[in-house]
Structure 1
Amino acid sequence: MAQEFYPADATILRHAASALQAGRPVWLGTVLATYGSSPRPPGSLWAWSPTLGMAGSLSGGCVEEDLLQRLQQGQFGNSPARLSFGVSHEEQQRYRLPCGGVLDILLEPLTSADLTHLLQMCWLLEERLPFVREHTGEHYRLTEPQPGEALLSLHKQGFRRVFQPQWQLLLVGAGEVARQLAQLAQPAGFEVTLCDHREAFLQGFDVPGVHIARCQPDQLIARQFQDKQCAIVTLAHDPRLDDLALLEAFNTTAYYLGAMGSLRTSASRRQRLQELGISAAQLQRLHAPVGLDIGSKTPYEIALSILVHLLQQRPQTHS
């Protein structure tokens, strides 16, 4: 089965903003609730414009197909509409929702008056600032999230949808494992950056969608990889590069720190880091050898073991 890639929130919001900037209408759909099994969780976004098409997903395709037909026929007016799919057995068969699932969706027509609101949301995500879009009837506002708040919560007047920065993955050290991991991690929702100042290693590293940083890793981490939506993995096999990155990484709140190497290499690394001032408590954060122990040998297998561990350890804050 082909892996499905669901765009990050920022991608969907930028898609909607682009339509409004071009003077075109756009509709924004949000999954409010699911009952039974559903392909997409509450909070999932979808945007559609007659000229730019759609971005995101609400169900995996079947519900979107129905919405497109109804939108093109002009069935929805200028007010938000709350829709349910899969309520009857006939609808479950029609939309092919699994296991008797039911889907509640809010569909919002957006106009040029909403452009500033959308651009502000895009800016907050680009600045890696979490926020809440609180919807009350036909009005909405942006507020700060509460500690531990769920991705989406319903209330009598509407709902609150938490937006978090996109997951970031920093790979330190170019090589075949980095290449394979960069390719695997993007469909899993990570924005991937590769850091290496060694031009000989960077030559030919051309994975689409990956940001290349030709600098020392500690400087990049201090600037860009500080929050809990980040993972930092060192793959250079060079202590001068790997250790430099890890020393700075321990100062961050990144949810995952990993270093590639054998058991012996990892033990030596821990000893070096302690001699450089990293405490035993801090070292508990380090996954070394990195990844799950699946007996991996090839670069692809090693990359796969790392990605699965990244997903296993990733906090469940949003879809």
Structure 2
Amino acid sequence: MSTGAHETVLNDVRNWLLAGKRVWLCTITETWGSSPRPAGSWLAVSSDGDWSGSVSGGCLEEDLLNRCAAGGPDTPQLIDYGISDQDRDHFRLPCGGRIRLLVEPLFSQRDLPHVETVLEALQTRTPVARTVSLTSGQAGCEQADIRHSGVRVEEQVVRHGLIPEFRLLLVGAGEVARYVAEFAGAADFSVTLCEPRPTFSQGWGHADLPLVQALPDDLVSRSFNDPWAGVLALAHDPRVDDMALLAALNSSASYVGAMGSARTSAERRARLKSLGVTEEQLDRLKAPIGINIPSKTPAEIAISVVADLITSRQHLRVAHPSL
């Protein structure tokens, strides 16, 4: 299983702090006009020049790495990029774009417990809000009862709501699953591939995408039963796909989809209804899966699927709109 962007950055920050390094966590707090990354995106930089995450296409990263290599701020600072024409030309920001960043110094003794608390919350699928005092630099966190993430700056305090990374269960080993995993992983989804059929699991030849040989309904109930989870039935085998869909449609997973033609999808809906799935539950099923493009090859189908996943995820983590 791969790990999403925020957890990856926090894992790196924790390891650097454990090694006694100084760390600066850079958070996009606001954007105006076009911007390459949304508010809430992270870039972490260590005193040794290690870095993790992204806040632009590379131009801002270079400047932030140089700032931190020169010592970096000792207290939190808000930094604007793209205010002047010269600034936009220098950093090659998109036309008219402007980005405001919080550059936050982290120290091992003071901030390691905080980082571990936030990381544990995300790993246990609990929404959490980080707070950072712009005057003292003290960071805190609290459980958040909301599903939406976002960044706010109010009265010298930055509040960053974080939701768990979107977790995908792909059911059925095959070329479509391979490409969905590759494209979804690049788009910061956490991906698990499940294949209960021995013939397919034993012949799986992609070591870079580990495969879990288990019944999909068990995995759904154990690890993919919250609003930040999606279940994709890609086996093209009713014995496997229906088992996964029955569990997923009875779970809290926000995205449930199945691959197949319009005719296959209609037959699937009839089967699921005969097994006790309600019309309301069937309305949650995205089948045929993916956006409607003339896709035929496994890679094209995967692109259409991941495009639809990105749209659905955005509804879950909509931050305060950029100005």
Q: Same fold (TM over 0.5)?
A: yes
Separation in structure 1 between the aligned mates of residue 263 and residue 76 of structure 2, nearest angstrom: 60
- Matched with 2:97 is 101
Separation in structure 1 between the aligned mates of residue 69 and residue 119 of structure 2, nearest angstrom: 27
Secondary structure at the counterpart of residue 186 of structure 2: coil
Q: Which amino acid aligns with 1:129?
A: T
Secondary structure at the counterpart of residue 95 of structure 2: helix
- Matched with 2:317 is 317
Question: Cα distance, 1:95 vs. partner?
Answer: 1.2
Please list, as runs of the form range in 1=range in 2, the aligned pairs for 1:97-136 lying within 5 A after superposition. 97-112=93-108, 113-136=110-133
- Matched with 1:239 is 238
Matched pairs, number: 313
Separation in structure 2 between the aligned mates of residue 47 and residue 11 of structure 1, nearest angstrom: 10
8 Å contact 1:131–1:145 — kept in the other structure? yes
Please list, as runs of the form range in 1=range in 2, the aligned pairs for 1:44-193 lying within 5 A after superposition. 44-51=41-48, 53-74=50-71, 76-112=72-108, 113-137=110-134, 138-147=137-146, 149-193=148-192
8 Å contact 2:181–2:191 — kept in the other structure? yes
Question: Cα distance, 1:181 vs. partner?
Answer: 1.4
Report Cα offsets for 1:230-254 as digits up to 9, x if no partner: 1111111221111111111112121
Question: Cα distance, 1:276 vs. partner?
Answer: 0.9
8 Å contact 1:19–1:52 — kept in the other structure? no
Secondary structure at the counterpart of residue 51 of structure 2: strand
8 Å contact 1:179–1:205 — kept in the other structure? no
Separation in structure 2 between the aligned mates of residue 240 and residue 251 of structure 1, nearest angstrom: 18
- Matched with 1:280 is 279
Question: Cα distance, 1:148 vs. partner?
Answer: 5.8
- Matched with 1:32 is 29
Question: Cα distance, 1:316 vs. partner?
Answer: 4.3
Change (3 A) 1:147 1:23: closer
Please list, as runs of the form range in 1=range in 2, the aligned pairs for 1:3-18 lying within 5 A after superposition. 8-18=5-15
Change (3 A) 1:147 1:163: closer
8 Å contact 1:234–1:259 — kept in the other structure? yes
Separation in structure 2 between the aligned mates of residue 149 and residue 268 of structure 1, nearest angstrom: 36
- Matched with 2:216 is 217
Where structure 2 has 5 or more consecutive residues not aligned to the other structure, the ranges are: none
Q: TM-score, normalised by structure 2?
A: 0.91
Secondary structure at the counterpart of residue 116 of structure 1: helix
Change (3 A) 1:100 1:305: closer
- Matched with 2:256 is 257
Where structure 1 has 5 or more consecutive residues not aligned to the other structure, the ranges are: 1-5
Separation in structure 2 between the aligned mates of residue 97 and residue 132 of structure 1, nearest angstrom: 29
8 Å contact 2:257–2:287 — kept in the other structure? yes
Matched, 1:306 2:302: no
Change (3 A) 1:289 1:99: same
Separation in structure 2 between the aligned mates of residue 166 and residue 211 of structure 1, nearest angstrom: 19
8 Å contact 1:182–1:207 — kept in the other structure? no
Runs of 4+ in 1 over 6 A off after TM superposition: none
Report Cα offsets for 1:167-206 as digits up to 9, x if no partner: 1111111112111211111111111111112121123434
Separation in structure 1 between the aligned mates of residue 90 and residue 305 of structure 2, nearest angstrom: 39
